[in-house]
Structure 1
């Protein structure tokens, strides 16, 4: 936990940040931030759809312009052949101070207008303290907290450049698994030289309970096709002796978990690291009730692996989900035919020390064994889009500055700890830069990421912007590059 002390320090960091001035600046410019976000959300930068390639280009150019207006002396687009451009900006005018790479993304998930009840997904609406629209929370709002955090930092300190050396990378393919990110980083090695990475594509637990995110799960995605007859066949003609791929797939899915909610892949838990008692205690200290969880996530019931709390299942334990099953006539009128193929997509969330390659092979072996030699199938495992988990080391001094900055941003005396359930390229960024990763985002579970009626709390944008304005000053106050790496 982060606590304020009577001697004017917070976790040993001098409290010399003009917190009142930071909040006053953010409050004065909050409408500008929201209008920035409205304009950006209107650009339909949907990931993975060719018809939105031009929108992704416009989105990247829009952000590049905003970063130039903020004062970044170097701003450019990293073009991707056959993909979406990334935006890179650099402001390095603080000799001896840490160099920080900020990562996020500007692409968004697809959205169907007719499934949104609050507002059309790309026509943002401000209502009851929330801005509704695709990307408001995931993750354009988080990016703009960084933009306005820099502006607030400069305004209240009177500096002409940030107190740390800032590099900003906002890619355009995160929602599709960051397919070209490794290539982009390899092509621009000078841009990735950093003492610290700040990853802003994360959720907080509750608006009234700020907590430092200490890590993210990894992800392994798979697509399985099970084959039956050579073509769809009239069920009355062959029903009984004919193979039905839906039956085979249903049996497989039904055996994915055992009666205790554990994932059935042989060897799956061999590499799973047990969380520390301190981490479990920190998570247990967060405000939680089943009723609150069910209301905010609309998940109706609570299940999962026996022996672990809901938040531990969410953040500390691996999971395996079936995201889609498609077979036969999914629209009327039905033809009364046994389908020739049944398909399913799987998403496996991993924890330390599981790795994409190992879990992929475990899944491949399990599927083959469960289906048996008599059932033809094809399992696609795009290992290149998989992501390994990452946990921030406890001794990274930048965490001290981040906790203190979050206390400033939320005006509280205590800051908790948590993890996030989703994946990100954190492990890749760590491997490429050699720097530790810290996480800071302004999303909430009720923001409906990837679903209809996505929104962001304007109060969270305020708190997040104030946090980042404070963070750069607090980080710079630590001892040189040790502020990041320890």
Structure 2
């Protein structure tokens, strides 16, 4: 079934409870738009010293939003070069506790590449709010706040009064775009404070605005910086051409043979520990509405390439990969000096899957480069293990079914699918440190242009996301009310 067929299939009559929640969220849609635009105007760019104060302003802005929504505990915690916002509302004794993870920092932008607006001058066009961070991940965070407001707007539980019917904790960090280098220390120092029965990871994508799918996996990530050295200094090509070792050619050769003719990563041992694809998840991906035409139009990738023997969605979510994210040699800017460069460099991004270990991948890469590079060249390879993130797969848990039901209600769909997350994130770290399963829910789409020019968020998707989350809190509270466990833990 392709996307158009799915859309023609229609959806059931909307559930009365979801209809009420949707009305509450829709009544505040203009306010959601206003607040998101206000937050987007704060250029909380990570990694640029001139925006350090903007990161603090962004955190303080969000902290004020949590207080305005009624959260009794709100703090701004210094974290490395940025700040984390922590909010807590635990007024439901015996109910489950959910910690929501997301981030408020944003990627740097190149204003000259933005065609519809300047990066931090948000505008609304055709139901989309444009601006850096509108989708990744400020819109996702504000959808959560609207969900809490809608949840509170439903007839309050007599045992909790005006508090949510479950216990909520929010951890919105400010270093995610830099690989969360200080998150582990923050978690270790606050294990009891951040303790939860579930973690809801809200920095992820949806498959399609018209076809909700629960994300159940996240690939790992390892970055590495490779430098190849040739002459001792940049040398005029007219003086040495034909004899000097050119590191740009050697770097290009190395990158060119990093994949074999079948599209597999050619580093020896790279696939040794990859776990077999789960049959149920592979079948679930095959059941998603997909067409190459739709994918190419939404992703704007131009063509489909990759490892033979797997579908696009399997390669995207269930198979490991490596990408080159930058290459520099010679004079990339300004007038060329017509010189053979002394150095050529590339940044590599590895995406890993369950079974693979990042330290082993880093060692395999180092050994392969050392054995493969030409004798005329020197090199340096630095894997970034400090910000590396292991892959994660959501275990079987009663909350997954609750989230599936909530997504069907939130998006007014006849059914939900299953999907993965092609990127990275600290899900495994959160699960391991807090000893809690991680579920995923976000409101991003591939067409939102994360990390690129003209980033935008669909207001309709944000509304549907907020309704989904409000329904999810209701589902968790109802499950607890049916007596899953006596100590506030959902029975597994």
- TM bucket normalised to smaller: over 0.9
Q: CA deviation at 1:332?
A: 3.8
Secondary structure of 2:56's counterpart equals helix
Q: Retained in 1: the 8 A contact 2:230–2:376?
A: no
Q: CA deviation at 1:191?
A: 2.3
Matched, 1:194 2:196: yes
- Distance, in Å, in 2 between the alignment partners of 1:323 and 1:282 is 30
Q: Retained in 1: the 8 A contact 2:63–2:75?
A: yes
Q: CA deviation at 1:335?
A: 1.3
Q: CA deviation at 1:485?
A: 6.0
Q: CA deviation at 1:35?
A: 0.9
Matched, 1:157 2:155: yes
Residue number in structure 2 paired with 1:34: 33
Secondary structure of 1:383's counterpart equals strand
Aligned residues: 470
Matched, 1:57 2:90: no
- Distance, in Å, in 2 between the alignment partners of 1:484 and 1:363 is 42
- Distance, in Å, in 2 between the alignment partners of 1:163 and 1:275 is 38
Residue number in structure 2 paired with 1:222: 224
- Taking structure 1 as reference, are residues 288 and 482 closer, same or farther at Cα in structure 2, changes over 3 Å only? farther
Q: CA deviation at 1:80?
A: 2.4
Q: CA deviation at 1:331?
A: 2.6
Residue number in structure 1 paired with 2:315: 313
Q: Of 82, 105, 108, which aligns to 1:107?
A: 105
- Distance, in Å, in 2 between the alignment partners of 1:223 and 1:333 is 26
Residue number in structure 2 paired with 1:7: none
Secondary structure of 1:48's counterpart equals coil
- Taking structure 1 as reference, are residues 330 and 485 closer, same or farther at Cα in structure 2, changes over 3 Å only? farther
Q: CA deviation at 1:248?
A: 1.1
Deviations 1:7-51 (A, max 9, x none): xxxxxxxx9972121011011011111111001000000111111
Q: Retained in 2: the 8 A contact 1:397–1:483?
A: no
Structure 2 matches for 1:302-451, cutoff 5 A? 302-393=304-395, 395-451=396-452
Secondary structure of 1:139's counterpart equals helix
Structure 2 matches for 1:168-187, cutoff 5 A? 168-187=170-189
Deviations 1:308-340 (A, max 9, x none): 011111011111111111000113421111100
Structure 2 matches for 1:208-247, cutoff 5 A? 208-247=210-249
Q: Retained in 1: the 8 A contact 2:325–2:347?
A: yes
- Choose 422-431 or 368-377, whichever is displaced more: 368-377
Runs of 5+ unmatched residues, structure 2: 1-13
- Distance, in Å, in 1 between the alignment partners of 2:459 and 2:349 is 31
- Distance, in Å, in 1 between the alignment partners of 2:384 and 2:311 is 32
Deviations 1:416-435 (A, max 9, x none): 11111010000000111010
- Choose 370-379 or 444-453, whichever is displaced more: 370-379
- Distance, in Å, in 1 between the alignment partners of 2:99 and 2:355 is 25
Q: Of 286, 289, 293, which aligns to 1:287?
A: 289
Q: CA deviation at 1:362?
A: 1.1
Residue number in structure 1 paired with 2:453: 452
- Distance, in Å, in 2 between the alignment partners of 1:378 and 1:180 is 26
Q: CA deviation at 1:113?
A: 1.6
Residue number in structure 2 paired with 1:18: 17
- Distance, in Å, in 2 between the alignment partners of 1:361 and 1:93 is 48
Residue number in structure 2 paired with 1:11: none
- Distance, in Å, in 2 between the alignment partners of 1:42 and 1:356 is 37
Q: Retained in 2: the 8 A contact 1:475–1:483?
A: no
- Distance, in Å, in 1 between the alignment partners of 2:273 and 2:197 is 29
- Distance, in Å, in 1 between the alignment partners of 2:42 and 2:318 is 36
Secondary structure of 2:82's counterpart equals coil
Structure 2 matches for 1:78-157, cutoff 5 A? 78-81=77-80, 83-157=81-155
Runs of 5+ unmatched residues, structure 1: 1-14
Q: CA deviation at 1:240?
A: 2.0
Q: Of 241, 264, 267, which aligns to 2:266?
A: 264
- Distance, in Å, in 1 between the alignment partners of 2:290 and 2:58 is 38
- Distance, in Å, in 2 between the alignment partners of 1:122 and 1:25 is 29
Q: CA deviation at 1:383?
A: 0.1
- Taking structure 1 as reference, are residues 16 and 96 closer, same or farther at Cα in structure 2, changes over 3 Å only? farther
Q: CA deviation at 1:483?
A: 5.8
Residue number in structure 1 paired with 2:468: 467
Secondary structure of 2:28's counterpart equals helix
Q: CA deviation at 1:122?
A: 0.5
- Taking structure 1 as reference, are residues 419 and 483 closer, same or farther at Cα in structure 2, changes over 3 Å only? farther
Q: TM-score, normalised by structure 2?
A: 0.93
Residue number in structure 2 paired with 1:6: none
Q: CA deviation at 1:448?
A: 0.3
- Distance, in Å, in 2 between the alignment partners of 1:431 and 1:31 is 39
- Distance, in Å, in 1 between the alignment partners of 2:312 and 2:332 is 34
Q: TM-score, normalised by structure 1?
A: 0.95
- Distance, in Å, in 1 between the alignment partners of 2:174 and 2:454 is 22
Q: CA deviation at 1:185?
A: 1.0
